[in-house]
Amino acid sequence: MGGLTKKKIWTGVLVAPPLVALIGLGPPLILSLMVLLATLLGLREFYCLTLPRSNSVVHMTGIGLGLFLSAVISYGSAQIAYPFFVFLLLLLFLVFMGTSENLLLSTPGVGIMFLGTFYIGFLLSHVSLLGQLADGTLWVLFLIATVWAGDVFAFLCGSLFGRHKLYPKISPNKTYEGLVGAIFGPSLVAFIFAFLFLPRLGKGVSILLGVSMGILGQFGDFTESMLKRSAQVKDSGSFIPGHGGMLDRLDSFLFSAPFLYYSLLHLLKEAR
């Protein structure tokens, strides 16, 4: 077992239990603060990857807008969100008008900042929205358990059985065998979690949610890998020893969290 793998395992062992305990036993404010902190760090890494030559004003504007959007989606309303989108575009254009030394790069810059605001600020805010549902803490833990299971089973199956490359252009180390693990792991964990803590969630529905979470988690991983390949870096940062940056840890949640939230809105509505 390589040194990097050992560091990754020990970091996970030391970080995961306190994180789960804080979410499971702490007040709702803890989850909100965690999501905002993860959003801040993720946005910072995103703009360092995609706009490495832009000045601090551009980066800080993008981070601030992403955090504000996250707060609006989590705790605001459509009446607040719609005017914000107009303000967002207006401010982005003003920032690049005032700071761009090369106007040829201003249009791509506006597009990248708009993408970052939604890619991280909007998508990750759904973790907070999950926490506001009935049994919200359990659903957040369900999300974490299934996403982590996808990562762990993908790593184990890929390391032990991986022979056939999945998409080497974007992620050279991922294999079809790892993909099978990434789908099987979440479906198994979703079934067990639902059986133990969410008995009103049917067996078939729990497995279907797990399979979908596994697929979307891998899609999120590939999406971030594409961003890193375009920036020609291996990791989004070095915030977490052995695991890279915060964005490397968030990628599997970015599409899984909205999927789970909107699926539950439908399921809970049907259950009434």
At residue 45, what are phi and psi to the nearest 5 degrees?
A: -65, -40
Token digits of residue 25: 């036993």
Question: Which of 22-26, 50-54, 163-167, 237-241 is the least confident region?
Answer: 237-241
* Residues 6+ positions from 252 with CB-CB distance below 8 Å: 147, 150, 151, 217, 218, 220, 221
Could you write out the DSSP letters of every residue in 37-67?
HHHHHHHHHHHHHH-TTS-HHHHHHHHHHHH
Residue with tokens 């970015």: 254
Q: What number of residues does the chain have?
A: 272
**What was the pLDDT predicted at 131?**
95
**What was the pLDDT predicted at 4?**
46
Measured over the CA atoms of residue 35, residue 54, residue 115 and residue 83, the dihedral's sign is: positive
Interval 58-85 mean pLDDT: 87
Task: Assess whether pLDDT exceeds 60 at residue 1.
Answer: no
* DSSP code, position 244: B
Domain total of the chain: 1
**What was the pLDDT predicted at 75?**
85
Q: CA 183, CA 12: separation in Å to the nearest integer? A: 21
DSSP H helices, the chain, are: 3-25, 28-50, 56-75, 78-99, 106-116, 123-131, 136-161, 176-197, 203-231, 246-250, 253-271
Domain, as residue range, for 134: 3-271
Interval 6-26 mean pLDDT: 74
Q: CA 177, CA 161: separation in Å to the nearest integer? A: 6
pLDDT digits (tens, 9 = 90+) for 148-193: 999 999 999 999 999 999 988 898 889 999 999 999 999 999 999 9
pTM of the predicted model, to two decimals? Answer: 0.90
Please state, for a pLDDT cut of 90, what percent of the chain lies above it.
57
**What was the pLDDT predicted at 188?**
97
